[in-house]
Structure 1
Amino acid sequence: MTVLDIIAILIFFSGLFIFINTFYLKLPSSIGLTIMALSLSLLVLIFGLLFPQFHLAEHVKQYDFEEVLCQFVLSFMLFAGALNIDFKKLGNQLIPVLVLSFFGVLISTLAIGTLVYFLMDLMNIDLHYIGCLVFGALISSTDPVAVTKTIRNHRLSTELENKISGEALLNGGVAIVLALVLVNVYKEEVVMGSVSIGGVSWIFLRDLGGGLLLGIFFGWIGYKVLKYIDNDDAQVEVLITLALVMVGSFVADFLSVSSMLVAVLSGLIVGNLGREKDGESAVGTYVYKFWQLMEESLAAMLFVLIGFEMLVIPLRLNYFAAGFFAINIVLFARWLSVFIPIRLMSMNRSFDGGTISVLSWGALRGGLPVAVSLSLFDFKGQEIIVTMTYVVVVCSVLYQGLTLGKVMRLYQNGHLEKAG
């Protein structure tokens, strides 16, 4: 199976499931796609047991997902999400969004990583502390597409809606970048058997510092090139942004810096400078529409991948038990990562009642954590991380996704506590 084969299969089932969900099931897209993908995977497993010679799961397990996920899906999704973040639209909610996105992810990562480390010790499962932090970072990523579509169906205050949508868009990029930097820390320090503060600091400085500089460079170059192209030439502008992501990812990998950070920063710079008055001709409307479509399409593919993940995860009872314990840890860490920053910021700014509850319960996990967990090629502890990610994401999509509407209605009716 080649990269194109995997992409073709995911696109086919994404389109088929979206059609069935839109015209027949009529569920929220993330929930409908997950249910159908899980059902298909279950049928494939049953068919494989009845006819072992046609067991598709064995072929899927042999495929290295790192190639298609890291080189295609993650960079494109992070660029698309960053491109659609409009700092001006956030207005006075920009500071809370940035604080929740950066410091919230750090708090969540540390809380999840530490608690999961003790959980692994109690369950006699071997997973290094940095591996637990990797899980904490990747599972802290929320799904902006699912969250944004959900809040549009409820009449929230403009301030709270901007907080939720802005934080969801930026949160994913921060969490995924942190997770992959921690993966590099593990591979270069733990595997070599010499974990040191200096070595860890150098990896963070190299990955994040180098990614920051390279992302700013490519973002600025992309903006300048797009500025000289007429918006009527939409196909040229789209091709330039595609080349920007792919070349940026290639150069970042070559220089051993964070390609995901390059994608995020390039998207932020091109997207926001392109909206300035003196840069009206820099980025045409069709470019934003194309990348919004790209983000939603890739998100649909990743929800299908969640179902297919059943074919590759090890069916070990203790791993699944750890996943169910991890659900409560993740929910607690999310609440903590929202509660602490908002309580501190509420000293000099006001927040709508119920902000903490809505932000905490509205953090739906999506395909990005699944993609990162499957891309951890040759990473000790990948199987337990993949299994826990699978359990947490599926429960988040089905349980939180189906009950989020009730939380929104409680907020609308004023039954939720005041947050500040």
Structure 2
Amino acid sequence: MEYYSIATILIVLSGIFGYINVKFLKLPITIGLMLITIVFTVAVVVIAQFDNSLLLREKAFISSIDFETVLLDIMLSFLLFAGALHTNFNQLKIQRGPILAFATLGVLVSTFLVGIVMFYVLQLIGLNIEFIYCLLFGALISPTDPIAVLGILKKAGAPKKLETKIVGESLFNDGVGVVVFLTIFAIAAQPNADIVFTDIATLFGKEVFGGIALGLILGWVTYRLMKSIDNYEVEVILTIATVMGGTMLAHNFHLSAPLAMVTAGLIVGNDTVRNTAMSKTTETYVDKFWELVDVLLNTMLFVMIGMEMLILTLEGKYIYAGLLAVPIILMCRYISLWLPIKFFSKRLDFVPKTNLIMTWGGLRGGISIALALSLTQEMHRELFLVITYIVVIVSIVGQGLTVEPIIKRLTKKTV
């Protein structure tokens, strides 16, 4: 199917489902679109019992979309830049210590904890999966998804210092999580090759620090260009060029595009740049343009996630493993956050029950599904795709619907 046709169908469905959500359900866009798309997909399956022509067309449509490439190589850079652009830079600077610890140490600890526990749990239910593949699953499921988190937190009314920690962590741990996943993937793809840890450390450092360095350069160049002119049309185009050109550069030099886009977005969006490089008109147009991009890509992404259900191999043991994985991942996330919170709570003022709120508010989304889709058959792709899908659905719908009342209940004395 042509790219134009795919994009057209996704935008039409996003518009229709978005309208239904705003008019009737009034849920956060990520949750509403996910639920509506799942209901739509189930309805197609039911109709297929009498006439399967619509089901076959929908399966063909979903199969024609390279979800991994669309999200990781195209959409993610735009979404992360948009998210970082509207993040409070000053609060992020104050909370930089715990945020960096959550996004690095937290992701690594969670990856290994999930991998170890899932290895033994899968053995107990009769699924003999090699440890390296369980570790690979730990890497793809550990990063929280800023795309899912941002929209829901806007409505939750969380204290700013708590919101900054959750949003900041989710923006940065995406890039780190993808690098960890790719590193373990390279090891799993060549199980008989000698593992040289210095090479792994060099690759990790190049991706992470190289991506951040590229983002700093892109952000500074964009700032200087915007400061030298006063034309809102061209300045909006410059931000688009930063994202698209920066992503291409990152891929060519094997640097982390997500980290580059987060860093560039934070620089362009911080108050100093806004006050010195943007007129009020430019600031309004830049913000509104990227808000629209954020909403449009969000709607398309979660429609795709809901429709992906049609290509899953829904075996009994796979579903059981997915249901068991939900509490395991929450437990591992709670443990992985404990040490950084304990360490930094002596220096910074933390909201009570921060660990519990961040555990429940750390939603999984499209990035985990995209990484699961990149697994090979030898890596038990079908099993881990079903597990990932169940975790994401429970995360976005279950946690997403309850995170607002939980935050309000646990922080009501501090708001």
* Fold match by TM threshold 0.5: yes
Going from structure 1 to structure 2, the CA distance change for 1:84 and 1:158 (only over 3 Å counts) comes to: closer
CA contact (8 A) 2:84 2:266 kept: yes
CA contact (8 A) 1:326 1:392 kept: yes
Distance in 2 (alpha carbons) for counterparts of 1:246 and 1:141: 23
Give the match's secondary structure for 2:261.
helix
- One of 232, 235, 244 as aligned partner of 1:234: 232
- One of 257, 266, 269 as aligned partner of 1:268: 266
- Equivalent residue for 2:4? 4
Deviation, structure 1 residue 379: 7.5
Deviation, structure 1 residue 37: 0.7
- Equivalent residue for 1:196? 196
Distance in 2 (alpha carbons) for counterparts of 1:105 and 1:124: 28
In the superposition, the TM-score normalised over structure 1's length comes to 0.85
CA contact (8 A) 2:34 2:302 kept: yes
Going from structure 1 to structure 2, the CA distance change for 1:324 and 1:251 (only over 3 Å counts) comes to: same
Deviation, structure 1 residue 181: 4.6
- Equivalent residue for 2:323? 324
Q: What pairs with 1:108-257 in structure 2 (closer than 5 Å)?
A: 108-125=110-127, 127-144=129-146, 146-187=148-189, 189-190=190-191, 193-230=193-230, 233-257=231-255
Give the match's secondary structure for 1:275.
helix
Distance in 2 (alpha carbons) for counterparts of 1:129 and 1:273: 47
Going from structure 1 to structure 2, the CA distance change for 1:57 and 1:298 (only over 3 Å counts) comes to: same
Q: What pairs with 1:98-113 in structure 2 (closer than 5 Å)?
A: 98-113=100-115
In the superposition, the TM-score normalised over structure 2's length comes to 0.86
Going from structure 1 to structure 2, the CA distance change for 1:196 and 1:361 (only over 3 Å counts) comes to: same
CA contact (8 A) 1:66 1:376 kept: no
Going from structure 1 to structure 2, the CA distance change for 1:306 and 1:229 (only over 3 Å counts) comes to: same
Q: What pairs with 1:2-151 in structure 2 (closer than 5 Å)?
A: 2-52=2-52, 54=54, 55-59=56-60, 60-61=62-63, 63-90=65-92, 92-125=94-127, 127-144=129-146, 146-151=148-153
Deviation, structure 1 residue 393: 0.8
One-letter identity of the residue aligned with 2:57: L
Deviation, structure 1 residue 227: 2.5
Going from structure 1 to structure 2, the CA distance change for 1:223 and 1:275 (only over 3 Å counts) comes to: closer
* Runs of at least 5 residues in structure 1 that lack an aligned partner in the other structure: 416-420
Deviation, structure 1 residue 212: 3.7
CA contact (8 A) 1:374 1:386 kept: yes
Distance in 2 (alpha carbons) for counterparts of 1:289 and 1:274: 19
Distance in 2 (alpha carbons) for counterparts of 1:237 and 1:117: 51
- Equivalent residue for 1:336? 335
- Equivalent residue for 1:374? 373
Measured against aligned partners, the alpha-carbon deviations of 1:243-279 in whole angstroms (never above 9, x if no partner) come to: 2222222233233333333333332333338636544
Give the match's secondary structure for 1:256.
coil
Distance in 1 (alpha carbons) for counterparts of 2:33 and 2:340: 34
Q: Could you tell me the percent identity over the aligned residues?
A: 37
Going from structure 1 to structure 2, the CA distance change for 1:115 and 1:235 (only over 3 Å counts) comes to: farther
Deviation, structure 1 residue 155: 4.9
Deviation, structure 1 residue 410: 2.4
One-letter identity of the residue aligned with 1:112: V
One-letter identity of the residue aligned with 1:56: R
- Equivalent residue for 1:388? 387
Give the match's secondary structure for 1:284.
helix
Distance in 2 (alpha carbons) for counterparts of 1:376 and 1:303: 21
Going from structure 1 to structure 2, the CA distance change for 1:250 and 1:152 (only over 3 Å counts) comes to: closer
CA contact (8 A) 2:268 2:274 kept: no
Deviation, structure 1 residue 202: 3.8
Deviation, structure 1 residue 42: 1.3
Deviation, structure 1 residue 301: 1.9
Distance in 1 (alpha carbons) for counterparts of 2:216 and 2:188: 27
CA contact (8 A) 1:302 1:368 kept: no
- Equivalent residue for 1:407? 406
CA contact (8 A) 2:6 2:65 kept: no
Distance in 1 (alpha carbons) for counterparts of 2:335 and 2:313: 31
Is 1:364 the counterpart of 2:366 in the alignment? no
Distance in 2 (alpha carbons) for counterparts of 1:268 and 1:152: 18
CA contact (8 A) 1:142 1:363 kept: yes
Give the match's secondary structure for 1:39.
helix
CA contact (8 A) 1:142 1:171 kept: yes
Select between 149-158 and 354-363 the one with higher mean Cα deviation: 149-158
